[in-house]
Amino acid sequence: MLIRKLNWGAALLPGFWSYTHGAPVLGTFFWIMLLPLPPISIGIMLYLLTNGNRIALQHRRYRDEAEFHQVERAWGVAGWITFPFSLILFLTYIVALLAATTKTVAQ
């Protein structure tokens, strides 16, 4: 039953969550693709949203189910706290990119 729940901590903090949960390749790929190809990073976030619990259970040891819930809940809360700031930074990047592109095209 743990595996079927969504893992918001993994989805909202993929670059950090994946390193601490034994999936550094996903974390590295997320960071590398974040600026040049955001859709790939969003795909990694969606993958971790749906498969984060399975990855956490496979690569990390927990004393019991209660510890698992406690750890993943803390990651989820941290993810939702940082999400607005990340969204603002991401949107600022997109607006700057579009402004630079339209300025170059207009000249």
Q: 66-88, pLDDT tens digit by residue?
A: 999 999 999 999 999 999 999 99
Q: 13-49, pLDDT tens digit by residue?
A: 999 999 999 999 999 999 999 888 888 999 999 999 9
What's the confidence (pLDDT) of residue 58? Answer: 92
What's the confidence (pLDDT) of residue 104? Answer: 66
Question: What count of Cα atoms within 13 Å lies in the side-chain half-sphere of residue 77?
Answer: 6
Stated pTM of the model: 0.83
Say if residues 57 and 68 touch (Cβ distance below 8 Å). Answer: yes
**pLDDT beyond 90 at 94:** no
